[in-house]
Amino acid sequence: MEFPTVCPACARENRAEFTDSSVHDLTCAHCGARYCVFLRKQRFEVLFDLGTRALMDGYAREAVASFAAALERFFEFYVWAFTLERAANAEQEFGAALAGLEGTWRHVSSQSERQLGMFALAYLLREGREPDFLTARGLGTDFRNRVIHRGALPTRAEVEAYAALVFALIDRLLTELGPGAAHAELAQEQGFAAHLAGLPDGVTAVFEEHPGMFRARRFGGLAPTPKHSPQPGLVPGQVPGQARKPGKAVNDARAYQQALFRQALEERGALLRSFKGPPPGGPGPE
Ligand SMILES: [Zn+2]
């Protein structure tokens, strides 16, 4: 999957492929200038945006895999944020805390059930309560497995409902994390700094923050959100733009998730399209 970059020397566009490290060493195809794009974006964000893009383009089934992967990587991000935040509060040195975390993660990195276990404990320790959303229903597990493992062909409406569920859950947990999320981002910044220090002379460093389904919300694009409340003025289950009705908690929760997701899509969908769209006259999305 590619994204457009602008050459800092001649201002023309070059396309780059997303890397796992978010570091992209590039040579301009037009003028030959070398530059390095550091993309300030977490893996779960890239995956969720790819899923959204696939959904917008009518690839409903493919979108499910991206949304499911985004949720798994978000749980990892949460464990990272929690552990590094805790280390900072205990005045532990960042590098040592990061090394311990990376070593520990290697023990769980190949099995998602182990990672889920780490997340569950991290949530309990940070929030002081059970992660009661970690149920098959709360995570949309049955739907995900039917599509990914059993080859079911979902309808667009089903995929939208799943996307909305994943979006609302990540959005809620990001809101609870609040400034704690910055600790995980610091790990990415440190990786950037190490790469930056090793860049040869004549290579221009470019730092980019791309629009995404979560980014605007996290960096003040929307109104500030109080802790433990998914949206200002809304109680869980309430649909934005509607007065709260008593009862029907389950339907309300689903409607709330969908309204939240649709709102984000309305605000940022167009940005995603221009950011991740195919080059003019080029092939369609991968
Ligand atoms: Zn150039």
Q: Residue 226: what pLDDT?
A: 38
Q: Residue 192: what pLDDT?
A: 92
Per-residue burial over 53-71, b = 16 or more CB atoms within 10 Å of its CB, e = otherwise: bbbbbebbebbbbbbbbbb
Q: Residue 265: what pLDDT?
A: 82
CB atoms < 10 A from the CB of 234, how many? Answer: 18
13 CA distance to ligand 1 middle (Å): 8
244 CA distance to ligand 1 middle (Å): 54
- Cβ atoms 168, 146 nearer than 8 A: no
Q: Residue 254: what pLDDT?
A: 81
Whether residue 155 is contained in a domain is answered as yes
202 CA distance to ligand 1 middle (Å): 13
Whether residue 8 is contained in a domain is answered as no
10 CA distance to ligand 1 middle (Å): 4
35 CA distance to ligand 1 middle (Å): 9
Domain encompassing residue 93: 40-268
16 CA distance to ligand 1 middle (Å): 13
Whether residue 277 is contained in a domain is answered as no
DSSP letter for 13, please: E
Q: Which of 195, 191, 212 is nearest to 3 (CA)?
A: 212
Q: Which of 23, 28, 31, 131 is nearest to 75 (CA)?
A: 131
Whether residue 1 is contained in a domain is answered as no
Q: Residue 257: what pLDDT?
A: 84
Return the amino acid letter for 181: A
What are 159-194's pLDDT values in tens digits? 999 999 999 999 999 999 988 988 998 888 888 999
12 CA distance to ligand 1 middle (Å): 6
pTM (predicted TM-score): 0.80
Low pLDDT (below 50) residues in the chain:
219-247, 277, 279-286
Distance of CA 46 to the CA centre of its chain: 6
34 CA distance to ligand 1 middle (Å): 8
64 CA distance to ligand 1 middle (Å): 37
Read off φ and ψ for residue 136, nearest 5 degrees: -55, -40
- Cβ atoms 63, 34 nearer than 8 A: no
Whether residue 280 is contained in a domain is answered as no
Question: The tokens 């895999």 sit on which residue?
Answer: 65
276 CA distance to ligand 1 middle (Å): 20
11 CA distance to ligand 1 middle (Å): 6
Total tally of structural domains belonging to the chain: 1
Whether residue 33 is contained in a domain is answered as no
Whether residue 276 is contained in a domain is answered as no
Whether residue 209 is contained in a domain is answered as yes
